[in-house]
């Protein structure tokens, strides 16, 4: 004869564990998924911040390198050979005596294409080969050139003539890589320059201070959800003051 089965729940014996119920298993799974998702999001944000920081540092270094090229060249504007410099000692009209009066002068700023009051091109002269004579190839100039919506900073290699926009025409070469960096703006400002009277007969000296502002963004940074963009500024004091009688 079959025994009647006891339908009452079986009590757990001391030291004996029962399995998890379905509800407990589902709750544990949800908690694990939430924790894993939070950890993945945290790691993703950390890696993203690191990538942006590396990209930002790379862009800054590229912009600084091109700015240093301009700054070092521009500081030497109106440089004369040592022999000519001796002629100019205590002689404010030496440029006319040397025949350089039509060449040496203040930094020429031109090409304000966006109409914001700041130039996008600068030019100057210096005796690079110390030949004591003016040569067209010794005209130094830098400009912003935008081609196909991508901007780059260019350096003048050979001078042809001065354009109507006060920017030289001739052969130019890029000092920034348009495949990597898009130079969005390049501003040249000389509002801090000043002219002072240095003699009783009205001789003047022009102290030139040039401010450069560059804004650029990184192309093909590998992420479509953010843009790497930087602005850098430099104040350049021209070492050779311009004197006139």
The pLDDT tens digits of the residues spanning 15-47 come to 555 666 777 777 777 777 777 776 676 666 555
Any alpha helices (H) in the chain, and if so which ranges? 22-75, 82-87, 94-98
Average of pLDDT values for 79-96?
71
Q: What is the pLDDT of residues 169-206, one digit of tens each?
A: 999 999 999 999 999 999 999 999 998 998 877 888 88
Q: Does 5 map to a domain? A: no
Own/partner contacts of 195-201, CB < 8 Å, gap of 24 or more, are 198/92, 198/243, 199/92, 201/245
Lowest mean pLDDT of 12-16, 125-129, 138-142, 186-190, name the range.
12-16
Q: Does 22 map to a domain? A: no
Q: Does 26 map to a domain? A: no
Q: Does 194 map to a domain? A: yes
**Confidence (pLDDT) at 20:** 65
Average of pLDDT values for 82-104?
70
Q: Does 139 map to a domain? A: yes
Q: Is the predicted pLDDT of residue 10 greater than 60, yes or no?
A: no
How many domains does the chain fold into?
1
Name the residue with higher pLDDT: 21 or 123: 123
Q: Does 9 map to a domain? A: no
What mean pLDDT value characterizes the chain? 80
Q: How many CA atoms lie within 13 A of 57 on its CB side?
A: 6
What confidence category does residue 120 fall into, taking pLDDT thresholds of 50, 70 and 90? Answer: very high
DSSP assigned state of 208: P
Q: Does 124 map to a domain? A: yes
Q: Is the predicted pLDDT of residue 57 greater than 90, yes or no?
A: no
Q: Is the predicted pLDDT of residue 1 greater than 50, yes or no?
A: no
What distance in Å separates the CA atoms of residue 80 and residue 242, rounded to the nearest whole number? 12
Residue 101: which domain range? 50-244
Q: Does 101 map to a domain? A: yes
Name the residue with higher pLDDT: 219 or 40: 219
Q: Is the predicted pLDDT of residue 216 greater than 60, yes or no?
A: yes
């Amino acid at each position: 004869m079959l025994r009647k089965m006891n339908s009452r729940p079986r009590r757990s014996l001391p030291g004996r564990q029962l399995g998890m119920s379905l509800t407990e298993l589902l709750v544990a799974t949800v908690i694990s998924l939430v924790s894993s998702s939070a950890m993945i999001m945290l790691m993703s944000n950390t890696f993203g911040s690191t990538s942006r920081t590396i990209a930002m540092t790379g862009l800054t270094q590229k912009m600084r390198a091109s700015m240093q090229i301009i700054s070092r060249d521009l500081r030497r504007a109106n440089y004369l050979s040592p022999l000519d410099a001796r002629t100019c000692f205590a002689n404010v009209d030496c440029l006319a005596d040397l025949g350089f009066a039509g060449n040496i002068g203040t930094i020429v700023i031109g090409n304000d294409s966006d109409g914001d009051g700041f130039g996008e091109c600068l030019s100057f002269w210096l005796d690079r080969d110390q030949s004591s004579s003016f040569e067209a190839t010794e005209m130094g100039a830098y400009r912003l050139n935008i081609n196909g919506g991508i901007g780059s900073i260019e350096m003048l290699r050979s001078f042809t003539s001065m354009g109507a926009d006060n920017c030289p025409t001739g052969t130019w070469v890029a000092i920034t890589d348009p495949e990597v960096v898009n130079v969005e703006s390049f501003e040249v400002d000389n509002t801090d320059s000043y002219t002072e009277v240095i003699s009783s007969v009205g001789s003047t000296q022009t102290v030139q201070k040039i401010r450069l502002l560059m804004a650029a963004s990184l192309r093909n940074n590998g992420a479509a959800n953010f843009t790497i963009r930087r602005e850098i500024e430099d104040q350049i004091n021209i070492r050779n003051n311009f004197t006139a009688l």
